[in-house]
Structure 1
Amino acid sequence: MNIIAWIGMLGIIIFTLLPLLKKENRSKEEISKAIVTVTIVIGIIVAVLVFSVNYLFALIAGFIAMIVFDKKTYTKKRLIIYFSTILVISIVGYFIFRDNPDYVLKHLKNNPQTTSLYVAENDEQLITYQSDIVRPLASTVKMLIAVEYAMQIDAGLLTKDSSVSVDDLKRYDYKNSNGNAHKDWLTEMDSKGSIKNNEVSLHDVAKGMITYSSNANTDYLIDLLGIANINERANSLGLTQHEEVYPIVSALLISKHMDSTSKSEKQLIQEIKEMPMEIYRSTAAKLSEQMKDGTIKIEDISFDLPMNLQRVWSDRLIGASANDYGKFLAIISNDELPEGAGDIARELLEWPMQYNPVNHERFIHFGAKGGSTAFVLTEAMYAEDHKGDKFEIVILTDDLNFWQGLMLRNNMNSFESKLLGSEDYRLKIQKELSES
């Protein structure tokens, strides 16, 4: 649930209970209605937070429950109104949530300035649509960090089983800025008994960065591995369009670090936009160091960054071209890394093979990492099927509005699955994008 959803739920509770402050409104019927409404709202919150039910589905279910428990519902006029409303909502919901891979294709065709697609099959580039343009990677950049981790483990510079304090990771955990990623990872670690004496293994930290996309784990690893080493790795792998890496979480604090008390939001945005990237990166690195040593206590700071400032942060995330990541994926898929490092990288990146057994029916290898912000959605994956055919796919989208982001997230999996499974569909996309 995002902040708007929380405000909406709390607003319903407040406006439901507010009339009961007056004694004359506290009739048995009104109290009963208030109890039902508050119970349904709490049920929606629990369904979303505890059982991971889609917020929109939970909201619709709550709306239906309110209708069912309202005595006034059971008149002919009201039944017609409610039935019509539910029918319209169901039809709209169907068109939003049905599998429609062509929506992704349509978005790519209609937005060449903000989208890229790279597809290769058996080392042959099939589609290179706007793929030489640098765009924000979001969490897809964690693939590079995972490979640098694998290389340092293979070189004996680090040990997979070395212990990492959960409290050390907590110093990088900016709550509510990364969903529940870090919390969910810790919950899994706890359920598996992998937290001992408040410590986890370094390898589990790396897994949490990829599988759960924990930004806290990411910034911890960036510091441990060394920013210079990660950037040098990108160069050595031939990623010529890859921007320099810097801490992700601490960059969210840059506007707070500036003298914001005497500046409007518009002035802050302009100042950050005009800040040279070299200074922006060094500021993020400095703030990350202060988070590490406790000068900045991140647990005491609430995440309340306005959407316009989040947009600046998103626009300045580490970028690369789809071409670069297509080549990068091929290096992993074709076993061009040192054997030990390659095995470690595959173990981390091929988490979909572990978490979804159905993938074993289609693939020998399947590695992937996606990323997103309110404005960005990215995906990078490599696959090898049982016939030995290999694929690399990179999709980068930017400048998304709410509706585009919602629809792309709902249809991206079906688009990728069809792209991997159908030669005819690959040829269709190749033809349509070459003509656009």
Structure 2
Amino acid sequence: MKRVTTITGIILIIIGIIYYLNVIKINEDKILQQIIKSDESSIVIFENGKEVLNKDGDDPLNIASIVKWFIAIEFADQVEKGIVDPNELVKSKTLNRFYVEETDGGAHRKWLDDVNKNKGQKLEEFTLEEVMRGMMIFSSNANTDFLIRLLGIENINHTIKHELGLTRQEPLYSFTGALLIPEYLSKEGYNNNKVYEEIKKMNDQEYQRMSQTVLEEINNDTRIKYDFDLHNKKTNRLWEDRLPKGTASELAVLMEKIRGDQIKNVAYLKKVLNRSKFGNNTLLYKEGNTERSKSISLFYEDQLSRKISVVVVLNNLNWYERKIVNRNFYPFIKKIMEDGTYIRKITNIIEDKEV
């Protein structure tokens, strides 16, 4: 018995060491390994205006909340045209119409806490500019859907195709509206199996229209939100699979256009969304997270005029890969931004693997 206990203890120690080395210990190269081994991953890097790495950048992948860039760009354009006043106030209860508990990783609550902390009091209304920042910095889906209604989904999608020239980018629609399609169909009398089959057989245009229909339903009657089944993995996975896809190549070019002031009213975006803690540096980025994906789209310019644009998209992650990616993703991105030799290293490794 004692021997069995000893052997069990040794096995547990070995498992613990393996888990530490693979999951807990920071190792930026784990992200590189994931990019190399997966057919559903891409990375594109521009350095000082030149593309230096492109691994599967033309493959359409789920870019999740990175699409919020397009909403922010449309917002800045309408501000410049005088259509939208960034100082106009929006009531908290208006935004809450579009908030569904436990569906955004706590993003909306974190934004509210941050704004209230900075203002030193609990606010009941916010400026449109604060709402836009909440969408971009904290990734509030409630703020996103409010802005989609304010700016017009047709205007946003027109900007994507015709102003930004992103011909491979799939059209946007309401995230929350799409998430609540099962509840909307249930309200119409469909049972669970029928709901899944109805959604599955919808073509892209029907699905997008239905998402916007449900968004309007939420705006008029919020009761549908409270029927949402957070644990229905079947329909939730279908929602994730149908999120708008885009390509890392087009997104990296977009980052370069923003960095180079080639987007309308881009100075406004840089002022409002700059996350750099150093006065002369500029860092703008948007992450995307779902249960099975991780992505980021950013540009960085330091006071030495080193200019970096990076897009990384990782799709179809299993639970173990997700743990490793979550642990190492931002150290990987940070090293790319700060260490030019690391860009050479990963470029050489990826190019050698592709030969």
TM over 0.5: yes
| Alignment match of 1:138 (pick from 51, 64, 84) | 64
Listed as ranges, the matches of 1:54-65 within 5 Å are none
Find the aligned partners of 1:240 and 1:138 in 2 and give their Cα distance: 18
Q: What corresponds to 2:259 in structure 1?
A: 333
Q: What corresponds to 1:418 in structure 2?
A: 335
Q: 1:176, 1:303 within 8 Å by CA — same for their partners in 2?
A: no
Q: What corresponds to 2:73 in structure 1?
A: 147
| Alignment match of 1:310 (pick from 236, 245, 256) | 236
Q: Percent identity?
A: 26
Listed as ranges, the matches of 1:323-362 within 5 Å are 323-338=249-264, 341-351=265-275, 353=276, 357=277, 360=278
| Alignment match of 1:100 (pick from 27, 40, 45) | 27
Higher RCO (C-alpha under 8 Å, 6+ residues apart): 2
> Helix, strand or coil for the counterpart of 1:117?
strand
> For each residue in 1:22-70, what CA deviation from the matched residue of structure 2 results, as whole angstroms up to 9, or x when unmatched?
xxxxxxxxxxxxxxxxxxxxxxxxxxxxxxxxxxxxxxxxxxxxxxxxx
Matching of residue 245 in structure 1 with residue 168 in structure 2: no
CA shift at 1:183, angstroms? Answer: 1.3
More deviation, 186-195/307-316: 186-195
Unaligned runs of 5+ in 2: none
CA gap 1:78/1:132 in 2 versus in 1, 3 angstroms: closer
| Alignment match of 1:376 (pick from 281, 293, 316) | 293
Tell me which stretches of 4 or more aligned residues in structure 1 moved more than 6 Å. 77-84, 194-197
The letter of the residue matching 2:350 is: L
> For each residue in 1:235-266, what CA deviation from the matched residue of structure 2 results, as whole angstroms up to 9, or x when unmatched?
2111111111101111111122224976454x
Q: What corresponds to 1:258 in structure 2?
A: 185
Q: 1:153, 1:159 within 8 Å by CA — same for their partners in 2?
A: yes
Listed as ranges, the matches of 1:10-409 within 5 Å are 89=16, 92-112=19-39, 114-193=40-119, 198-235=124-161, 236-259=163-186, 263-265=191-193, 268-294=195-221, 296-298=222-224, 300-338=226-264, 341-351=265-275, 353=276, 357=277, 360=278, 364-409=281-326
Q: CA-atom RMSD, angstroms?
A: 2.5
Find the aligned partners of 2:20 and 2:38 in 1 and give their Cα distance: 25
Using the size of structure 1 for normalisation, the TM-score is: 0.74
Q: What corresponds to 1:14 in structure 2?
A: none
The letter of the residue matching 2:260 is: N
CA gap 1:106/1:85 in 2 versus in 1, 3 angstroms: closer
> Helix, strand or coil for the counterpart of 2:180?
helix
Find the aligned partners of 2:303 and 2:261 in 1 and give their Cα distance: 17
Q: 1:146, 1:348 within 8 Å by CA — same for their partners in 2?
A: no
> Helix, strand or coil for the counterpart of 2:330?
helix
> Helix, strand or coil for the counterpart of 1:414?
helix
Using the size of structure 2 for normalisation, the TM-score is: 0.90
Find the aligned partners of 1:310 and 1:227 in 2 and give their Cα distance: 23
CA gap 1:194/1:280 in 2 versus in 1, 3 angstroms: farther
Q: What corresponds to 1:57 in structure 2?
A: none
Find the aligned partners of 1:190 and 1:386 in 2 and give their Cα distance: 32
CA shift at 1:125, angstroms? Answer: 1.0
CA shift at 1:273, angstroms? Answer: 2.6
- Structure of larger gyration radius: 1
